[in-house]
Structure 1
């Protein structure tokens, strides 16, 4: 392992320490003054605003009861380019240029106002009305911003993750509405990336959001949603953008989109193609899909086969993603006069990508260490075709929705690899067929109570086939006789049905909801492991029979929910009770089981409003989970080229206690947001995985032994808009510890993993022509055996990871932007690995031609390889990935 050191490897932390006093000193200047009338009367509570040459607010204050004001300014601010504005109802507006004076005595002239003619044109940047917080986009956007997603990252209290997920004060949003319509559902990334911020007037944060109108004030909700308020003048016509980019080495980046947002019809249709490393599958990410499935109760197993142990580097995907991608994302919504809303979504993706990987791993045992090496060139061909049609009527008197969804997707992966020095060719094919329909109907009765009917039905299948050549692990699989190839096939067709009916008593102080329902699940796991011999024969694996496992789950459940809200207190209690029968059988293993369970999963939530904006909440949940078909099959499955999975236990049963405490602090007008939380979870299962590891293969068996896992985590997050800097500063800290057990080579190892992470993020306008952004993450990881004072023969694993990002944006005139970005990474385990990446972007806005010219230069330092470490329990992995190297792309965009 050789770590290259580049000339730019000077820690950005040192750089920040050098400029930090400069940033602190940016508060020393001040503009003071007094507001009076001609007759000497003080003018109290006037709005005093200082703006720069671009008419952007630098700072503001309100005069006190005596008409005095004092506004702090950065030392870097040039008074010759600043303007002082005074506004007060009943007085003429005053606007004067600052000339370096320390004190300004300003005389205001009174004027008579006809209130019927008053039009409010200057609104605050942020305002609150009830549970809705509204940000004025124009006051946060910058000249270099294009999409609304770029502006969202700058809003105080709002966080946008690298994968596009949006959070408000630490909580993930449930939906991104466009003028009140849910055009994109939970796949809103394409919207935040495509919608120009110039189309959006306000961003509204809706807390305690209940999306179903008939349930408003009847069923409480702690959901948070965003609503983009579209400007009136852009609703009348379709807008869009056409983009074409070409570059060296031979590259292309193309896109065409069409956007129309009016009251009757909304559309956001995008077609993209590129080979510059942009992963288009992220546009189809469904952030709360897992929440929906868990609510439904579907516990289908994940894919059983994989290409192996290759992970991905902790880098932005364009650094290493070698791709050829085409995607279509079409979202259309029609509002009919009768209140019915029709919506269609079409998602299509065709992709080819490549990942080159070298890896070493060490598994530490009591008296031995297992070394493993791997080199792999992985070629993947994923595809996706997903279609959704829905009809919805969301009225005060009733709610109706029917959603039909069909998805056909899959992947073909080919790999040329060396496994401990032995050459191996691998092919894995996976195809998913998924058809579902969800119906929901909620009418209001004459007595104002409500009933709710929900019916969800689904069919899915995931056939997979793994082909390895030459045959692997002959001593275990083929009685030490070399053979030509290995074929592992598996599929699990699934039928799922859930039907429920509920009745809500919503007129009293204690709102009550009672639900009855039935759940049915039928699955069939078939697997075949075949060894293709050199003489042309195909033999079954002698160490185990194939799987022919039939599975059924039937559940009858009842649930009572109680909600109480009085003044500052809000309480909800859920008491679900279910009787369940699970049956499974496999004639090859003479396996016949029928199990009956009574499941009780209560949940309690308490919320106390400290004041109008702050609240303290706590929750407790006890849950019983039963395993699925993926944990009870008896026949061996070769899940990848070096792992065999079998089970020797009954159905997994796991009970969990979860306790959480959350404090949410908001000062909307001051633009200060903070949230802190503590969460503890303890899980007890009746099975534990036992791994038998040697130099060539790992065998995993599920054993009937009790396994306890406990996790404690805490976090604090602060976001504040600093007027002197003209942007938000954010910081987040988190700490977690997890205790669990694992069995390796018949030895029990109780482990404790700990993680601490600190992430600051701030932006500053240093001068009128340059801005500065800094964000970083430092993470400390440790993993050790719990020995209770006895010296362990296994070493404690420790790793420190630093990721620092600095960005300068230079404003050359009004329409030319130069963006210089540097990223420094450091990974410390036994030794230290350091990297520095540098990118540059030049963008010229041709306003009259409605066009942009852009030159994008990436990886200017030409870093071609990336090494990293990963630790967990008694394992340490070293990985080396190929990167894309230096690239240049010239783009032309036309806005229509």
Structure 2
């Protein structure tokens, strides 16, 4: 490893030495002769094309690297905020004049495209004007974001810019919604937004902006002045057939002191209000907390959802209260409260046929399920944030209560049963973070996170299934599986950052502790109602204590063109776990060094390349070591017979980000390779009625390769935004099933393309298509290779027939091909007509969804060496009449 670091440093120095052989040196000063710091200096050729650029140092001096000495006649142009732009032509490389900039009242010069629509660029910030992309039918800013080149909005509301997910959505610079920003994009009117700003290298902590190492991208909605003066919002009332309703009330205020978006809604039209509660960067946040815990160990074994938009398959009756309020005491101190309660009732009905292909045998089963699902979510989040040039304080208190109940009727291979699953999660946490900048510009940081979780679960099945395994072949009345997993967790550290010029050194020391108790028992109920343990091995009384002491040294360089960082975290890990009922008493001690390296090079004013490498050691959790059998669902028994899972992962990532903002062209390319070595493997014993899993000690490896490329371009002549993309992934891993070790290779490649077009002043058209091919093959003799192909097309035509009368026609086509199954073809169609009463600020809307009245949907799924074919009951044709009033 040391040789690798030396080689990398030597390579960087060699590149710098080679590029320093040909240079232009000069100075930028004001009319008083004082050097101007951070002035932009550009070298342009005879045609005015940009050749290279740099910035002046604290003395006003600059150096531009040359690839050739043939620069006579080229021009050097200098500019800075508060000064007029100045330029001169090069006549003699050995006698360059100093550049004098005259003062100007213009605060900021921007480059703006003359053709509409236009973008303006200011450093790391790119400004869109929503009015350039919006149509008369668009209501919210979310409708307009989908049409902006370079911006992508997924079906779940997640926003990406040029292939990178945004870290935050700000409303006039304030983080009102935390990471759950769907309610903002759905509710804020498009006419209230003056600009949509894309902020690259976003750093919300003010004191860290000088040597900014952030690579995050954020969106900021800059509101118009008139939108800040009063409460605004909308109310919707809708009724339809058969027995449908859709109600919504939203109120918003965005002034300097107080901002809020408060919403109450309810419907049974297949629109999940809970999507407004989606935390789009939750996985990254949980990784930072380093608190691994199972979300839930029991389930009803329900099939996944069909590959359709949720509104086409969901039977629901749901309501949501969502309150988001932010109060600013002053420019540096604010208090935010995010409160919500979701109540939902869902129904799901499906038939499923599954095949698992093994050497010499095929495991098959058929099942039918009729589920009634009742999820609820209650959250209170209170955030105090102080953000000044000299200090940063952030305290986040969160209380979550999540009761979840599922009632299910199931029939597997002709055997009927009923299930009842109850889960209740209570999660309380507090996160505290304090930073202070010293007079020396160095920074101290104190961090503490404390979390308490309880998650009792209970699964009841009647009558008892698989009597040959669970009751000596004798029919019986039922099964009861009880499980609880209370958890205490804390993570605390102190860090000290030394800042000198463009270099930052950060040293961190801390510890975390995780304490858990896994208590479970599996009972059977005989026909005479006697209740007894299934076996002595069906009990867990496991205590778990995981302690980690760690230090970390990080070194970051932030230059004009290069950003680089090295992180060297060192940790001592100790785990003790004990279960007297299963004669289990183990401990483990490990010392880990998990180095990482990141590099970013600005190849042009708007373009850059990135490279990252990391090595990580990971240890498993309590769900990897329990010995007593747990009935995970009606057909799955899980246990373990192995030490704690350990993994070692090498990950390499490279990317290229390209844009020509003024031409509205965006392109990104990313590749990732991960090689993970594990010491345990899950062994499955399958038959037509049940699967049993035991984790065993066995070395194995997982290799993953991922590649994607995406492009977006606005065509000025056609007033259209076109998008295209391709992605490829390959995974190589091993499965142990029925004592057969199967090396599996899974490959998937997908293509996508789309257009948002304005065909005329009164007609717009959108079209999106995706085509995916998946191949799975076990590398053993006589193995079956599975192939899956799916084409999905969506199109919407919107036009104005008369003044204030708008019509939308949309269609969705799905085609699925699988070699061993008949082709599946579906065409969904919808129609909608809307009339605007402008004086009353009211829209009247009538819509028909699923015009062809499709009531069942068949889907095929591939997973490694298994094929599942499912048939789902979905809502048929629905008619809705709505009135929406804006205030």
Q: Report how far residue 165 of structure 1 moved.
A: 0.4
Deviations 1:266-318 (A, max 9, x none): 00000001000011111101111221121111011231111104110000111
Structure 1 residue 846 and structure 2 residue 837: aligned? yes
Mapped to 2, the partners of 1:635 and 1:797 lie a distance apart of 36
Q: Report how far residue 405 of structure 1 moved.
A: 0.7
Aligned match of 2:53: none
Conserved? CA contact 1:725–1:763, under 8 Å: no
Counterpart pick for 1:678 among 666, 671, 680: 671
Structure 1 residue 478 and structure 2 residue 471: aligned? yes
Conserved? CA contact 1:737–1:753, under 8 Å: yes
Mapped to 2, the partners of 1:871 and 1:577 lie a distance apart of 41
Deviations 1:606-639 (A, max 9, x none): 1110011100111001000000001100000000
Mapped to 2, the partners of 1:737 and 1:587 lie a distance apart of 43
Aligned match of 2:809: 820
Counterpart pick for 2:234 among 231, 236, 241: 241
Helix, strand or coil: the match of 1:669?
A: helix
Mapped to 2, the partners of 1:716 and 1:509 lie a distance apart of 32
Structure 1 residue 278 and structure 2 residue 278: aligned? no
Q: Report how far residue 543 of structure 1 moved.
A: 6.0
Helix, strand or coil: the match of 1:382?
A: strand
Aligned match of 1:803: 792
Structure 1 residue 306 and structure 2 residue 299: aligned? yes
Structure 1 residue 266 and structure 2 residue 259: aligned? yes
- Report matched runs for 1:75-154 at 5 Å: 125-154=118-147
Q: Report how far residue 814 of structure 1 moved.
A: 4.3
Aligned match of 1:406: 399
Aligned match of 1:23: none
Deviations 1:139-180 (A, max 9, x none): 111111011111011010000000010000011001000000
Q: Report how far residue 337 of structure 1 moved.
A: 2.9
Mapped to 2, the partners of 1:814 and 1:506 lie a distance apart of 62
Aligned match of 2:66: none
Mapped to 2, the partners of 1:814 and 1:661 lie a distance apart of 52
Aligned match of 1:588: 581
Counterpart pick for 1:633 among 623, 626, 631: 626
Helix, strand or coil: the match of 2:135?
A: coil
Aligned match of 1:553: 546
Counterpart pick for 2:199 among 197, 206, 209: 206
Aligned match of 1:226: 219
- Report matched runs for 1:164-179 at 5 Å: 164-179=157-172
TM-score, normalization: structure 1?
Answer: 0.86
TM-score, normalization: structure 2?
Answer: 0.86
Structure 1 residue 215 and structure 2 residue 208: aligned? yes
Deviations 1:778-797 (A, max 9, x none): 0001100124xxxx322100
Mapped to 1, the partners of 2:538 and 2:319 lie a distance apart of 42
- Report matched runs for 1:348-497 at 5 Å: 348-497=341-490
Structure 1 residue 568 and structure 2 residue 561: aligned? yes
Mapped to 2, the partners of 1:380 and 1:119 lie a distance apart of 57
Q: Unaligned regions of 5+ residues in structure 1, if any?
A: 1-44, 46-114
Counterpart pick for 1:837 among 828, 841, 847: 828
Conserved? CA contact 1:545–1:588, under 8 Å: no
Helix, strand or coil: the match of 1:453?
A: strand
- Report matched runs for 1:650-661 at 5 Å: 650-661=643-654
Q: Report how far residue 773 of structure 1 moved.
A: 1.1
Mapped to 1, the partners of 2:868 and 2:317 lie a distance apart of 29
Structure 1 runs of 4+ with >3 Å offset: 118-124
Return 507-516 or 550-559, whichever deviates more.
507-516
Helix, strand or coil: the match of 1:190?
A: helix
Aligned match of 2:249: 256
Helix, strand or coil: the match of 2:233?
A: strand
Conserved? CA contact 1:478–1:542, under 8 Å: no
Mapped to 2, the partners of 1:769 and 1:229 lie a distance apart of 28
Aligned match of 1:192: 185
Helix, strand or coil: the match of 1:506?
A: strand
Deviations 1:388-409 (A, max 9, x none): 1111111111101111110101
Conserved? CA contact 2:537–2:582, under 8 Å: no
Mapped to 1, the partners of 2:256 and 2:886 lie a distance apart of 23
Return 801-810 or 119-128, whichever deviates more.
119-128
Helix, strand or coil: the match of 1:180?
A: coil
Conserved? CA contact 2:490–2:514, under 8 Å: yes
Conserved? CA contact 1:131–1:208, under 8 Å: yes
Q: Report how far residue 219 of structure 1 moved.
A: 4.4
Mapped to 1, the partners of 2:366 and 2:456 lie a distance apart of 30
Aligned match of 2:70: none
Aligned match of 1:100: none
Q: What is the aligned residue count?
A: 781
- Report matched runs for 1:756-775 at 5 Å: 756-775=749-768
Q: Report how far residue 565 of structure 1 moved.
A: 2.5
Return 879-888 or 538-547, whichever deviates more.
538-547
Conserved? CA contact 1:802–1:826, under 8 Å: yes
Structure 1 residue 647 and structure 2 residue 640: aligned? yes
Structure 1 residue 747 and structure 2 residue 740: aligned? yes
Conserved? CA contact 2:538–2:630, under 8 Å: no
Mapped to 2, the partners of 1:444 and 1:567 lie a distance apart of 24
Counterpart pick for 2:329 among 311, 314, 336: 336
Distance change >3 Å, CA 655–CA 814, structure 1 → 2: farther
Mapped to 1, the partners of 2:142 and 2:560 lie a distance apart of 37
Distance change >3 Å, CA 230–CA 338, structure 1 → 2: closer
Aligned match of 2:867: 876
Deviations 1:690-719 (A, max 9, x none): 100011110001010011000111111000
Helix, strand or coil: the match of 2:370?
A: strand
Structure 1 residue 859 and structure 2 residue 847: aligned? no
Return 630-639 or 287-296, whichever deviates more.
287-296
Helix, strand or coil: the match of 2:839?
A: coil
Deviations 1:812-859 (A, max 9, x none): 244221000011100111320000000011111111111000111100
Structure 1 residue 316 and structure 2 residue 305: aligned? no
Mapped to 2, the partners of 1:119 and 1:818 lie a distance apart of 43
- Report matched runs for 1:497-576 at 5 Å: 497-542=490-535, 544-576=537-569
Q: Unaligned regions of 5+ residues in structure 2, if any?
A: 1-47, 49-104
Distance change >3 Å, CA 832–CA 340, structure 1 → 2: same
Aligned match of 1:885: 876
